[in-house]
């Protein structure tokens, strides 16, 4: 019997499987179960050859909501303090640059990748953007997809585990809302309006980070001006985590591991090195800052922007500051990468 292969059916089955993973991890008392469970279950299914993948349209629909969640952390009090963040944001940019240089040397001289693939494989920014830009400039698209997929999954998986089991930081299993829970039609109307506005603006403005960043800006304006303090309820945040986890885990589908084992080895080694660098850098930075270690770790962690936004929101840890750092680093990397790549290209 042949099961339906329509994208909607495929997406439904994947979400059901991801949700089961979330429930399993929840009952295992794992940190961030609604993110880590779907990642683990979908990555396993993809690795063993399952054709049940998460259609890109699902993530496209989720990104505006993620942006609205991130923007809701920009309360009037937070907005008033943004001017004091510049030195800390510059530190994030510096760490991103150190990561890029270290990664380039690692891929180029340890695993002998070509210059373009080495450069774009080292950048701590978005998978989709780096793959498209790097591939158009002569890099290996397949290698870039694998390198960044493993990098994002490793960071997203390791950071909550480090916070809870190594540092003893309480990582709740139930998502925390950044503001007052949306209870009425007006609240939901404002949140949905922010998401739709971000979807439209992101389509036309072509911002780095796309519709997620556009929706975040609209939401930040609405919440920063005090027009609304509404936030999505916990069940909605858990749903967003399930989607993000399913998308991240499904990225391993279609990879021929026997052919790509060298690239996979390089990617795993780099991901582990990156986790160690992030842990050390966060310790160093927060030693000279008033920020707690958890904030430093999340602001420096070079996971995917959407993934880190959802994790930060779910944990309820300094959402506006951390998301600002993540967006700034991504913006810096994506805007400077094409120019630098042309300089190092043979």
* pLDDT tens per residue across span 20-74: 999 998 888 777 788 888 888 888 887 776 555 666 666 677 788 888 888 888 8
Total number of domains in the chain: 1
CATH code of the domain in which 266 resides: 1.20.1530
CB 171 within 8 A of CB 160: yes
Give the pLDDT confidence score for residue 342 in this predicted structure.
82
**Domain that includes residue 101, residue range:** 7-344
**Separation CA 43–CA 41 (nearest Å):** 6
- Whether residue 181 is contained in a domain is answered as yes
Q: Helix H segments across 108-229?
A: 115-122, 127-136, 141-161, 185-205, 210-224
- Whether residue 40 is contained in a domain is answered as yes
Average pLDDT over residues 207-216: 76
- Whether residue 2 is contained in a domain is answered as no
Q: How confident is the model at residue 275 (pLDDT cuts 50, 70, 90)?
A: very high
- Whether residue 119 is contained in a domain is answered as yes
CB 240 within 8 A of CB 66: yes
How does DSSP classify residue 82?
G
**Separation CA 36–CA 243 (nearest Å):** 11
- Whether residue 1 is contained in a domain is answered as no
- Whether residue 335 is contained in a domain is answered as yes
Residues in contact with 2: Cβ distance below 8 Å, sequence separation at least 6, in sequence order: none
**Separation CA 90–CA 300 (nearest Å):** 11
Query: What 3-state DSSP class applies to 335?
Result: helix
Give the pLDDT confidence score for residue 270 in this predicted structure.
96
- Whether residue 224 is contained in a domain is answered as yes
């Amino acid at each position: 019997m042949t099961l339906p292969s329509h994208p909607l059916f495929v997406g439904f089955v994947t979400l059901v499987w991801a949700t089961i993973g979330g429930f399993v991890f929840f009952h295992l008392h794992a940190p961030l179960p609604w993110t880590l469970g779907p990642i683990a279950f979908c990555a396993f299914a993809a690795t063993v050859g399952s054709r049940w993948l998460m259609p890109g349209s699902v993530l496209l629909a989720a990104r505006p909501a993620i942006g609205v969640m991130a923007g809701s952390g920009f309360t009037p009090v937070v907005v008033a303090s943004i001017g004091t963040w510049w030195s800390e944001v510059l530190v994030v940019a510096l760490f991103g640059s150190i990561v890029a240089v270290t990664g380039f040397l690692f891929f180029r001289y340890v695993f002998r990748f070509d210059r373009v693939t080495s450069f774009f494989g080292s950048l701590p920014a978005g998978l989709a953007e780096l793959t498209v830009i790097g591939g158009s400039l002569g890099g290996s698209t397949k290698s870039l997809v694998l390198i960044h997929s493993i990098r994002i999954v490793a960071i997203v998986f390791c950071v909550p585990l480090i916070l809870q089991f190594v540092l003893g930081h309480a990582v709740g299993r139930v998502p925390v809302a950044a503001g007052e829970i949306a209870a009425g039609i007006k609240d939901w109307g404002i949140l949905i309006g922010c998401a739709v506005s971000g979807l439209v603006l992101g389509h036309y403005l072509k911002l780095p980070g796309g519709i997620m960043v556009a929706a975040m800006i609209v939401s930040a304006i609405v919440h920063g001006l005090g027009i609304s303090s509404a936030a999505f309820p916990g069940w909605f945040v858990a749903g967003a985590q399930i989607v993000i986890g399913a998308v991240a885990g499904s990225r391993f589908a279609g990879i021929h591991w026997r052919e790509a084992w060298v690239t996979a080895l390089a990617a795993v080694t780099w991901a582990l090195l990156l986790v160690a660098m992030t842990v050390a850098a966060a310790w160093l930075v927060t030693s000279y800052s008033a920020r707690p270690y958890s904030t430093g770790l999340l602001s420096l962690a070079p996971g995917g922007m959407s993934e880190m936004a959802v994790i930060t929101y779910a944990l309820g840890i300094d959402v506006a500051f951390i998301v600002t750092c993540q967006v700034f680093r991504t913006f810096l990397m994506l805007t400077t990468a094409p120019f630098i790549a042309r300089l190092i290209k043979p």
